[in-house]
Amino acid sequence: MPVTEEQVLEALRPVLDPELHLSIVELDMIKQVRVAGDRVGVVVALTVAGCPMRGEITKRVTDALAPLAGVAAVDVELTVMSEAELSAVRDKMQARHGAGGAAAGGGHAHGGQRLGHEEGRANPFMSSDNRTRILGITSGKGGVGKSSVSVNLAVALAKQGFEVGILDADVYGFSVPKMLGIDHDPVVIEDMIVPPVAYGVKCISIGFFVGEDQPVMWRGPMLHKALEQFLVDVYWGDLDYLVIDMPPGTGDVALSMAQYLPRSEVYVVTTPQAAAQRVAQRAAYMAKKINLPLRGVIENMSWFTGDDGRRYELFGRGGGEQLASDLGVPLLGQIPLVPALREGGDLGTPVTVTDPSGEASQLFDALAEEIVARGPSRVFRPELTIR
């Protein structure tokens, strides 16, 4: 007996759009179902013509329908949504989460200042019922592995089942999309930016909005604006964790972050040598100055384990421990030097994905567990803000 149209739609209901993370049936992406004997034809309307997920959507639809009794072949035809259909999708998503995770509505007043979008959309991370933990990864100087730590920590958290986003706020040297192997831009539906997802991590980077070799020489106000857009216009959904790869040093981005994300926790990455540790201390003082809680130190490039099983401490030792004790915060983890970590970064395949049982991955998993276990730093109660 041939399947019915209803059975086809029921089977498609659990199929999620890979980027929007909602049912393709609920999003009204199924435009037509044709049943001819044991052949089923489905017309799926995509949000954008050049949708990078064409193959993935076709596969998900085929996989959902092929096992149905009475179905021998599945034909998937892809079309593109009209403006009106896109508007309807955007409204549905905003009704679910708001642009970024909370109910849409006016910007929240904070400290007497409106921190929502100019047009009045809310910064969801300011909302009192928002539960996202914001992990700001900083360092006093470049090249210590901030981006590598951010990416692998984000992947480790996603592997533990959390909803995770990563915001590449390193406007001077954005590198996160490449490290995650993301080669397409975010999908933009009207004024809503849908972040690409890699290894379970939603990613937004300033790199998506400027050319590859275009130097970014934005001044404070523009950076401020860009960061605001990343928080307000990006459809983050309900995140458990938002990892922020901060630019090296102190500066404007940190100030904007403190203003837009007053619940941010700050983590300092350092290498084991004493000199690096002194520089990292600057980042820590910055956190204190802008009144964000410093939660801990992460030491990177701590040692290299040779084939003989011995640990070689190429960059000295004790820097992380010393910095943590100077600052009165815990040393949360030590990550060894692992060639596969660098290669993974270059190839866009994080070591936490390609070698999950390796030394570095295990230590990233432990670091993620430690950060989860320690919980958020304090209860944020915007209603208690002194105005």
Ligand X SMILES: Nc1ncnc2c1ncn2[C@@H]1O[C@H](COP(=O)(O)OP(=O)(O)OP(=O)(O)O)[C@@H](O)[C@H]1O
Which residues sit at the interface with Mg ion, rule CB under 5 A?
146-147, 170, 175
The answer to whether 146 contacts ligand X (rule: CB under 6 A) is yes
Beta-strand pair 331-335/294-300: parallel
Nearer Cβ to Mg ion (127/147): 147
> Is there a contact between 241 and 368 (Cβ–Cβ < 8 Å)?
no
The answer to whether 248 contacts ligand X (rule: CB under 6 A) is yes
Candidates 144, 154, 206, 242; binder of ligand X (CB under 6 A) is 144
Candidates 44, 99, 246, 335; binder of ligand X (CB under 6 A) is 335
> Is there a contact between 89 and 20 (Cβ–Cβ < 8 Å)?
yes
Candidates 41, 173, 316, 348; binder of ligand X (CB under 6 A) is 173
The answer to whether 142 contacts ligand X (rule: CB under 6 A) is yes
Nearest residue to 291 (alpha-carbon basis) of 317, 269, 247, 261 = 261
- Range in contact with ligand X (rule: CB under 6 A) among 18-26, 72-80, 338-346, 361-369: 338-346
User: Residue 181 phi/psi, 5° resolution?
Assistant: 70, 25
Size of the site for ligand X (CB under 6 A): 20
341 binds, among Mg ion, ligand X, none (CB under 5 to 8 A by kind): ligand X
Q: Give burial (CB, 10 Å; 0-12/13-18/19+) of 129.
A: exposed
Q: Please report, as residue ranges, which positions from 253 to 312 form the binding site for ligand X (by CB under 6 A).
A: 300-301
The answer to whether 345 contacts ligand X (rule: CB under 6 A) is yes
The answer to whether 143 contacts ligand X (rule: CB under 6 A) is yes
* d(C-alpha 121, C-alpha 104), whole Å: 6
Estimate to the nearest angstrom the gap between the alpha carbon of 205 and the chain centroid: 9
**338-342, long-range: CB < 8 A, 24+ apart:** 338/304, 341/148, 341/152, 342/148
Nearer Cβ to ligand X (239/301): 301
> Is there a contact between 107 and 117 (Cβ–Cβ < 8 Å)?
yes
Residues in the chain: 387
Nearer Cβ to ligand X (125/174): 174
The answer to whether 139 contacts ligand X (rule: CB under 6 A) is yes
Q: Where do contacts with ligand X occur on this chain (CB under 6 A)?
A: 139, 142-148, 170, 173, 175, 248, 300-301, 335, 337-338, 341-342, 345
